Structure 1
Amino acid sequence: MIDENLIAPCGMNCILCVSYQFMKGDLNQKGFHKKYCPGCNPRGLHCLFMGDHCELLRNGRVRFCFECANYPCKRLKALDSRYQKKYRMSMIENLTVIQEQGLQTFLDQQETRWQCAICGALICCHIGLCLHCDLEKIIQNKKYRKDLKSDDGIA
C-alpha cells in the first residue's frame, strides 16, 4: 500500500523514486553510494524541485500543484516533459487523476501500474527495474554501476 504522504505536490510518486527505494532497502550496504531520500512531504520540504520557485509550495499553502491558479506552470511542464521522455511517467497526468478521480484512485492505479510481476514490489520509475528481483542485474549493468563504490571491487 502506498502512503499518500509519498505523493509530492508536483505529482511525483516518491515511492517509485530510485533514491527512496535505495533508502528503503538500505542498498548502500550492498556497495552503492546513492543519496537516500524519504520523499518531499516526509522531510517537510513540500516539493524540492518546484518549491524553490513557487511560494505556495515553499510555504506549504497548497497540497498539490493543481490548486494553484498558474497550474500547470512552466517549471511543472518542463518536469513533466522530461519525465515523459525519460521515465514514461507524467506528473501532469498524475495530478489530473488525483484532481478528477481522487487520491485513493490514483494510489490504486499506481500500485497496479508499477507492480513487479515477479515479487509484487513496486518497480523503480527511474530505472524501470525491481530493486528486489533485479538487484544483480543492476550491479552487473554498466548503466547503473556509476552508483556503486569503486573501492568495493564491484565497479
Structure 2
Amino acid sequence: MTSKRFKRNDLLFSLCGLNCSLCPMFIRGGCTGCREGSTCYMVCEFAPCSIEHGNIDYCFECGEYPCEKYDGVDLHDSLITHKNQLKDMEKAKTIGIENYRAEQRVKKEILDRLLNEYDNGRRDVFFCLAVNLMDVDDLKEVLDEADESTKDMDLAEKSDFMKDALNERAEMRNITLKLMH
C-alpha cells in the first residue's frame, strides 16, 4: 500500500456514496466517518483505492467509476442502508456535490425533527432508513400531516403514528423500510 494518507473533506457523504449524516452510528457519535483512524476506514475497500487514484473525494471522480467494487453493493446493509448507494452517487455526480449536499442538509433537518419529536427511544434506525430512502417532498408531507394529526398524542402514540405514516407513504412508492442483512 502507498505511504500517502487517506483524507476526507466531506464526512457527511462518504467516498463510496453512503449518507453518513443519516447513519444512526454517526448520529450517536459511534462513528467518525470514513477517515484515517476510524473503524470505517480500517475495513473500507474504497479508501485505499482513493489513495491510489489521487485521494479523490468521491468515487464518481475516478475514471474507472463504477468499478467492480460496486458489484452487488446494494444487496446488503450495515447500520446504514446501501440500497441507494449507487443511485445517490450518480445523483451527486449529475446535480453536483454542492446541490447534493444541500439536499442532504434538508434531509438531516427532517431526520433531526423525527428524532427530537417522534422518537420513543427505539425508532432511530427506522427514521434514518426512511429519510435515506424517501424523497424530500414525501418526507415533508408526512411530517406536515403528522404534526397536525398527533397534537394530542403522547410520545409513544406519536412515534407509532409516524412509523405507520412513513411506511404507508413508502409502500406507495414501492420502497421497503427494512434493512437487509
Q: How many residue pairs end up in the alignment?
A: 112
Q: CA RMSD in A?
A: 3.5
Point out where structure 2 has 5 or more consecutive residues left out of the alignment. Answer: 1-8, 125-181
| SS in structure 1 at match of 2:26 | helix
Aligned to 2:103: 109
Identity of aligned residues (%): 20
> Is it true that 1:49 corresponds to 2:40 in the alignment?
no
C-alpha contact 2:73 2:82 (8 A) present in aligned 1 = no
Task: Indicate the residue corresponding to 2:66 in structure 1.
Answer: 72
TM-score (structure 2 length as normaliser): 0.47
- Distance in 1 of aligned mates of 2:100 and 2:56: 18
Amino acid at match of 1:49: C
Tell me, yes or no, if the aligned pair for 1:66 and 1:99 is still in contact at 8 Å.
Answer: yes
1:113 deviation in Å? 4.1
Relative to structure 1, the CA distance from residue 122 to residue 100 in structure 2 (aligned partners, 3 Å threshold; closer, same or farther) is farther
Structure 1 residue 56, shift from structure 2 partner: 2.9
State whether structure 2 residue 24 is matched by structure 1 residue 18. yes
The structure where helix makes up a greater share of residues is: 2
Higher relative contact order (CA 8 A, sep 6+): 1
* Pair member with larger Rg: 2
TM-score with structure 1 setting the length: 0.54
**Equivalent-residue separation in structure 2 for 1:88 and 1:7 (angstroms):** 13
User: Shift of residue 39 of structure 1?
Assistant: 0.7
Equivalence for 1:121:
112
Letter of the 1:50 partner, please give it: E
Residues of 2 paired with 1:94 and 1:7: CA distance? 10
